[in-house]
Amino acid sequence: MASLRPSPCALLFLFFVAMASAQLSPTFYNTSCPDALSTIQSVVADAVANESRMGASLLRLHFHDCFGCDGSVLLDDTANFTGEKNSFPNKNSIRGFDVVDSIKSQVEAICEQVVSCADILAVAARDSVVAVRTHHLLTPCVHCLFRVFFPMNPIKCGLELLQLGGPSYTVQLGRRDATTASQSAANSNLPPPTLSLSGLLSSFSNKGLSSTDMVALSGAHTIGSAKCSSFRNRIYNETNIDASFANSTKANCPSSGGDDNLSPLDVVTPAVFDNSYFQNLVSNKGLLHSDQRLYSGGSTDSLVTTYSEDMDAFFSDFATAMVNMGNISPLTGTDGEIRLNCRKTN
């Protein structure tokens, strides 16, 4: 009896079905570009070493791309669409595009048109979290040197801070890049710093993220800075704020003017990925209105308390939340494209 063989058309159909249903995988580039991840890590490490703030900026780029996770945040405006860079949450705020350009250039040099810009953002965000940059110890001591090799918590050594990275996690890969972007979508999807707790919970829930995901991801504010315009109302008009913290912050954020002046989101250890952000919230020292809403007599108070007391719990939930966020509506299979230049479509 002759065996039944599928026709060439049937094979082609099955191929496209398989491609369209492709799933993200941590081993996606193991064969097609085995040095991709190490190349990204190297560029990120250099960028963070040159400017510690860059770690927070690259992490934020991934956040602002991911209520979609398709690299659309990187696209410049064109005659056909107005992109996300000048949306209200992003204008004069998100940065790090030059670092992404450098990563893309180096990855393209080893694997042409294989690694997507969306995946570069996801990997760079993880590498930014775990990046370690140690300042020169002005007054070395046995205790400080011990902490260099066995870092448990950031400590002061002389006048310099031993900077420690955050949790590592396995990045799921295989995203493809969007061929368009929408400023209006960015305006409506990205949660502003003025949101109430219910607004925050709803914003994240609409993207399939839990309240635990939302609080853990907010912990990314343990690094980075915010502009005066985004927290002025809180430090001058809100009452659930530590008085000394408000007064000290006003020195860099006048009641009028100075909109672009920066203040650290975590006033205690602004360059260290740790749980001080949550300890600040318990002390009413959250910089943004939306930050302090996480600890204001609502349903997330207990989780903030847990994270403020248990950094391992925060790290574990943050890692899980980052993976969950990275899984929001990625383009896979034959959808989208692999851009040659992250700023424009092919």
Start-to-end C-alpha separation, the chain: 50
Longest dimension (CA), the chain: 88
CB atoms within 10 A of CB 178: 27
Whole-number Å distance between alpha carbons of 87 and 17: 36
Nearest one of 106, 104, 84, 95 to 53, comparing CA atoms? 95
Whole-number Å distance between alpha carbons of 73 and 275: 28
Whole-number Å distance between alpha carbons of 76 and 72: 9
Catalytic residue among 64, 143, 221, 289: 64
Nearest one of 288, 305, 325 to 129, comparing CA atoms? 325
Q: Is 64 a catalytic residue?
A: yes
Query: Alpha helix locations (H) across 29-96?
Result: 36-50, 53-65
Question: What are the backbone dihedrals phi and psi of residue 113, each rounded to the nearest 5 degrees, phi first?
Answer: 50, 50
Whole-number Å distance between alpha carbons of 261 and 39: 34
Question: What are the backbone dihedrals phi and psi of residue 62, each rounded to the nearest 5 degrees, phi first?
Answer: -65, -45
Nearest one of 320, 48, 27 to 167, comparing CA atoms? 320
Please, are residues 187 and 89 in contact by the beta-carbon 8 Å criterion?
A: yes
Q: 19: which 2 tokens? A: 């491609």
Please, are residues 215 and 304 in contact by the beta-carbon 8 Å criterion?
A: yes
Tell me which residue has tokens 């318990």. Answer: 282
Question: What are the backbone dihedrals phi and psi of residue 23, each rounded to the nearest 5 degrees, phi first?
Answer: -110, 160
Active site residues: 64
